[in-house]
Structure formats: C-alpha cells, structure tokens
Chain A
Amino acid sequence: MVNLIESLGAYVLRQVFSAGRLGLFFAFAIRGIFLPPRKFWPTVKQIEFIGTKSLVVIGFTAAFTGMVLALQGYHTLTKFGSEGWLGSAIGLSLIRELGPVLSALMVTGRAGSAMAAEIGIMRIEEQIDALECMAIDPFSYLITPRFFASIVALPLLTAFNDVIGIMGGYMIGVGLLGVSGGAFWDGLTSSVDWSDLYMGFVKSACFSVIIACVCTYKGFYAGVDEGHFGPEQVGRATTDAVVISSIAVLISDYVITSIML
C-alpha cells in the first residue's frame, strides 16, 4: 500500500515537474527572439518546411473532406428537403471546425513528428550540448524559428484547407449530386461571416503554438529524464509528441469553441 502511494506520488511529482519545465520552455522560446543568432532566414526555411511542404497533404485531406461532407451532407439534408443549404453546411463545418483541426492534425503528423525527431537526434548526438558549449542559446537557435514558423504557416494552411475543401464539396454537391450552383454559393456566402473566419483562425493560431511547443519540447528533452540517449528515446519522443499534440489540439478545440460560441 505504501509502495502504491509512493509510486503515485512520484508520478504526480514527475508530471508537475514536466508541466513546469514546459512552461519554462515556452518562456525561453519567446525570449529567444531577443537573443542571437539572427532568425529571419532560419524562420523562412522552417515556414517552407512546415507550410509549403505540407500543401500536398493538406490539399488531399481538404479535398476529400469536402467531398465526403458533400455526400453525407446531401443525404442528410434531403430528408428535410433542405439540400439547397449544402454550401452553408460545408462552409461552416470547414471554416469553423474541420479546417483548423484537420490541418493541425496533418501538420502534427508530418512536421511535428519531424521536428521532434530532428531535435531528438540532435540531443542524442550531443549537438545541443555543442551549441551550449559554443555559448549559443539552443532555444534561440533551434526552437524560436520553428515556433514562429508554425504560427505563420498553420493559419495559412488552414485557409488553404478551407478553400480546397469547399471546392471539393462544390465538385461533388453541384457536379455529381445535382445541387444548384447558385444555391450552393448563396448558402455559403450568406451563412459564413467574419466571426466564423475569426474562430477558425484563432483556433489555428492556438493549435500552432501547441504543436510547436509540444513537439520541440519532446525532442529537446529526449532521453534527458532517463539519462539514456539512443534511438529508442528519439522514437519515444516522436511518438509522444504526435500523440500529446493531437490530444491537446482536440481538447483545446473544445475549450476554444465553448468560449467563442
């Protein structure tokens, strides 16, 4: 019984320690803006990696999401004789909810895992120690550019997701299922307003902070707590980064939606 309480206590202490360290990590990443080296081109490079190179996967995700929304939406709306509202349903679903969330999950799986793995490998190969020994703040050099690249890239990817998703929905709804094109666009433009776009982009910005923070944190501290530095620690860090980021995105989606609605 005592062992159980001890184990539980130790577990809770470890989680509290990790939460505190994550908070400090976030603060150091922000502080990195004011420290050398210069970050413009490294940030641009990261925007290319996180943003530009995710366009294809986001495009596919968005297109097929829009298409399946059109199929499901049409068959549901016809039961109420309201198939003319298909554009509205697709637009609101994508812009408020599915665009930000699916973009975040795709970026987590692609770029988030890559960030965690890359930084984790740097940790096990002593490259982060080398940065510290060269009197270069590793947060400023490694984390800050990724952080700000994520904040720039993810909302843009969300916007791209929304556009491609709506086009996919239009293609199926109007092109295949026979919904009136005019009704589709009228429904979309009359239902979607600035508050919906605002909600979508606020979510997207919050998700970008979560993904960048969690994924780079996991890579940065890969193996540090165990005291062992090897491929197993990098693998675990990458898996944890993706799982925790994904869950955090979904939980924060609910919280933000409940606040903003």
Chain B
Amino acid sequence: MSTGNLIEIRDLDSFYKSRQVLFDINFAIPKHQVTVIMGVSGSGKTTLFRHLTGLKRTGPKQIIIDGEDLGAFSETMLMQYRRRIGVLFQSGALFNSLSLAENIAIPLKVHTRLAEETIRIMTVMKLNLVGLADFCDYMPSQMSGGMKKRAGLARALIMDPEILFVDEPSSGLDPITAAGLDRLILDLRKTLGMTAVVVTHELESAFKIADRMVVMDQGRIMAAGSPEEIRNSADRRVQQFLSREADPHRVGLDSYYERLFEWKGH
C-alpha cells in the first residue's frame, strides 16, 4: 500500500442478487483528507458507502483498510474497525425512543466505563460543536431534519473516530445549515486530522470541502483526482454532471409523446 493512503479499493464489483451495481472500482482514500464521492442518483455511491462501512460484504482483497483486508475481517475485527469510524447517515438515524443526549451518549455507554457525569460532559461538548447544546432533552420527533442531521454528526464524532463517513450531508438542508456542516467537516479535518469520506451529489458543497474527488456513473468511476482535475476533465459525462445538463434523449416533449403513443399502442 502506498504511503498516505488509509483505504484502497481494488477491482471492487458489487451485486444485488444477480444485478451488478459496481464495476471494477479502483481508487484510494488518502489519510487526513476529505474525499468526496459524487454522482447522480443510482450511480452506486451508496452501495460503495455501504461496502466501506462494512454494511455490505466485500470480497477478498477488494478493500484494504490501513493494510488489512476488509473482506477477510472476522466479526471481532469488523467491530474493532467500526470503533475507529464514525458514520452519519442521510436521515441522521437517531433512535426515536431516546432523547438527543441519550442518542449521542450510546457509544460511550456501551464501549467505555466512564462515569455518567463524564459521559454527560462529553455529550454536551459534542452537541456544542454542532450547535445543539440547548436541545439535550429534546426527542427526535421534536427536531427538524437539519437538527437531526447535526445530532447524527455529533453521535458519529462522540468516540473521536479516525475516519468519518458522511452520506449526503446537505440533502434536505437549507443553504445556511448545509454551509455550516461543510465548515464543520473542514474544521475536523484541519484541527483533528480526521479522514473524511463524503458521499454527495451537491456540487457546491463537494468542491468546497474536497481534497480528492471521485465521480461515478452507472456503477463505474468516470473520473478521480483533485477538484481542479475534475473541473478540467475531458470526459463528456463528467462535464455534463458538473454543468447540470439533463440527458437530451431522456427529456423533450416530442420524444415523450412518441413513447406514450407507442406504449398505448401495445
């Protein structure tokens, strides 16, 4: 493994039942940097995300984490790996029956023997980081989508993970809150040297936070490199994605009517 890379993905293919969704994925995630995985809906970003977090089984020698083969991890090794990572899911994934503070504190209560008071202090510190310190006793049902997402980030950070995985951080957020989250990810990279892997389709956010970018389409990597390299990519599909152009053959009133009458004819 080359120095500076924390995660290497080699020839990764992925299937849902008999349908192949990832084709020959190869790229590396450097340490202490923010890697953004971008792509349209259905490009395979979430499947790749699930492989990297161990939620989807990986074949041998396809994902190498710090020199170790994720596909060969025993259950114990997988648990140890997961204690090194923090994961923010798209909806926050807070537990509805627990208050905000109880949600954040779960990893500490399960994995440490810290006193209740220490746990409470650490919880409030992390909630402060995301601007939710005044909402400790709120239930998830009393919170907005943006607040839930920030709370989910606080929970992902409570164990001070080495690697932070973030799935669609800006989706469903207003621009100000989204910008705040972007700022936070950059601060974590800068102050704690955290490695972050962010899956998103929000271009503005991606270019703001990324040190490295990977652009995916239909289960394949179209381009990988620095933000500048991606911006200047000669690949037509990459440029179409960056300029937010719709597929010409998919829209258009005439082609729509044609297809509609063909269907009705059957």
Contacts and interface: CB of A to CB of B under 8 A. Distances in A.
B115 to A, nearest CB: 15
Contacts of B85: 133
B83 interface: yes
Interface stretch (A73-81, A93-101, A119-127): A119-127
B106 A129 contact: no
A36 B111 CA distance: 8
- Chain A contact-residue range equals 10 to 19
A127 B95 CA distance: 7
B109 to A, nearest CB: 6
Contact of A133 (B80, B82, B96): B82
Interface stretch (B86-94, B119-127, B169-177, B197-205): B86-94
- Chain B contact-residue range equals 20 to 34
A47 B61 CA distance: 46
B55 interface: yes
Interface string A117-143: 000011001110110111110000000
B114 interface: no
Contacts of B53: 133
A133 B87 contact: yes
Contacts of B110: 36-37, 134-136
B154 to A, nearest CB: 13
Contact of A129 (B55, B94, B96, B109): B55
Contact of B106 (A122, A126, A132, A136): A136
Contact of B55 (A121, A127, A133): A133
A94 B24 CA distance: 65
B65 to A, nearest CB: 14
Interface string B116-160: 000000000000000000000000000000000000100100000
Contacts of B16: 227
Given A133-B85, A135-B83, A227-B16, A126 B93 contact: yes
Task: Among A122, A126, A227, find the residue whose CB has the most chain B CB atoms closer than 10 A.
Answer: A126
B93 A136 contact: no
B79 interface: yes
Interface of A: 36-37, 121-122, 125-127, 129-130, 132-136, 227
6 contacts: A36-B110, A36-B111, A130-B87, A130-B152, A134-B155, A227-B17
